[in-house]
Amino acid sequence: MMATGMANPQHHATPRDPESKMAKALEDLRANPVFIPEGYDDRCENLHPARFLGGAVCALQKKWHTARMLYGLGGVTAITGFDFDTLGIAGCITSRGIVELQNPANPHLKLKFFSSTNVGSSSLSSRRLTLADGDQAIDINESLRDLVTMDDFKMALMNASKAMHVVFPWNHTISVLEVFFAHNNHCVEKTGHLSDRAAELTAFVDHVFHTNSRKWVNDQDFLDATTLPAAFASWIGSRPAGRVAAAAAARDYDGKGDNNAKRKIRGNRGQGGSSYGGAAHSYPGPSGTSSFGSGGGAQKEKPELCRRFNLGMCKNTRNGCTSGLNGSGHKLLHECSHRNRNGRFCRGDHPEIHHK
């Protein structure tokens, strides 16, 4: 029998001032808490009425800490049989993913466990998966495919978020990641220049998974909307220097860098040099000054360096890269645009993002 007071429709409610009515309802509920009788729950057929209470009006971090107090370090007994079919994600979640989700203290959760490319292949799961008493580890093949495209990354993150909502409705550690990436255009400003962008973002998500597992162990707040941006900035700042420098260059090319960079760009325009916003990058001529540029009407004495190539994004062949539509412009060189200490370009046969 459902607990008395779990549903209390307001038959005489008016459509006016819904905020005041909801605030009054919350005040009444706090003054008259619902009594929930004891009962059995097997997580399958017999579900306790408490599972169907309205959502808790409290900080999500409080729910996290309350769950930590109830479950401890062991999480819950890992089971199978969750209804992912209704959501349409049953073919996107590996057995390893289902197991790892059920223990917030486990540091081995990976985003690739929620990709359809890693489900249903015998070659990817040649070893056994066991949950028998006494086993201290999950014995399963680790040769899972990595996420290589942004579509793979986005789908895996959504699958993980929805799966977590089914397994632990109180755990919002993946939901906040999904919102973070959606609000920040999947961090394209910092990672759009990377040829392995999906792998880089996957590594960050796995880092957050691991961090939150430590937060659970230490009974600390999980990374949320107020702390994730700083965590990402710290993460991207710790990556190899060439990759971070390329990201800064990409921002300058788009005119989105700091004020000093913008002043430098405007100054280059006034001197007939490249504005970084065009299709190419100017380089010093024999006299050490810029011999051409994409603006200012300067004479083009030599081919220009391809900006897209140096950002790792050019789809043209080495000998078939030109500016303008349909190859109507001048030739662009696939050479490194990194400036050496003497101010000259490297001009090696590698892009700037791979310069060492």
Please tell me the distance from the alpha carbon of residue 82 to that of residue 169, in angstroms, as a whole number.
13
Q: Please indicate, yes or no, if residue 164 is contained in any of the structural domains.
A: yes
Q: Please indicate, yes or no, if residue 158 is contained in any of the structural domains.
A: yes
Strand order of the sheet with strand 304-306?
A: 280-281, 304-306, 332-333
Per-residue confidence (pLDDT) for residue 302, from 0 to 100: 52
**In a 3-state reduction of DSSP, which class is residue 283?**
coil
Q: Please indicate, yes or no, if residue 258 is contained in any of the structural domains.
A: no
Per-residue confidence (pLDDT) for residue 326, from 0 to 100: 53
Please tell me the distance from the alpha carbon of residue 34 to that of residue 4, in angstroms, as a whole number.
7
* Ranges of H-type helices in the chain: 18-31, 60-71, 95-101, 150-167, 173-183, 188-191, 197-217, 228-237, 241-253, 259-270, 307-310
* Nearest partner of 96 among 141, 155, 134, 133, judged by Cα: 141
The number of domains in the chain is 1
Of 151 and 31, the one with more pLDDT: 151
Per-residue confidence (pLDDT) for residue 3, from 0 to 100: 54
Please tell me the distance from the alpha carbon of residue 100 to that of residue 109, in angstroms, as a whole number.
6
Could you list the residue range(s) of the whole structural domain that residue 126 is in? 90-239
pLDDT at 135 over 90: no
Q: Please indicate, yes or no, if residue 192 is contained in any of the structural domains.
A: yes
Residue 352: how many CA atoms within 13 Å on its side-chain side? Answer: 26
Per-residue confidence (pLDDT) for residue 60, from 0 to 100: 94
Q: Please indicate, yes or no, if residue 165 is contained in any of the structural domains.
A: yes
pLDDT at 279 over 70: no
Check: pTM over 0.85? Answer yes or no. Answer: no
Distance, C-alpha 350 to centroid of its chain = 28
Q: Please indicate, yes or no, if residue 115 is contained in any of the structural domains.
A: yes
Per-residue confidence (pLDDT) for residue 314, from 0 to 100: 83
pLDDT at 349 over 60: yes
Q: Please indicate, yes or no, if residue 161 is contained in any of the structural domains.
A: yes
Per-residue confidence (pLDDT) for residue 308, from 0 to 100: 80
What pLDDT, in 10s, does the model give residues 205-255?
999 999 999 999 999 999 999 999 999 999 888 877 445 544 454 444 444
Q: Please indicate, yes or no, if residue 84 is contained in any of the structural domains.
A: no
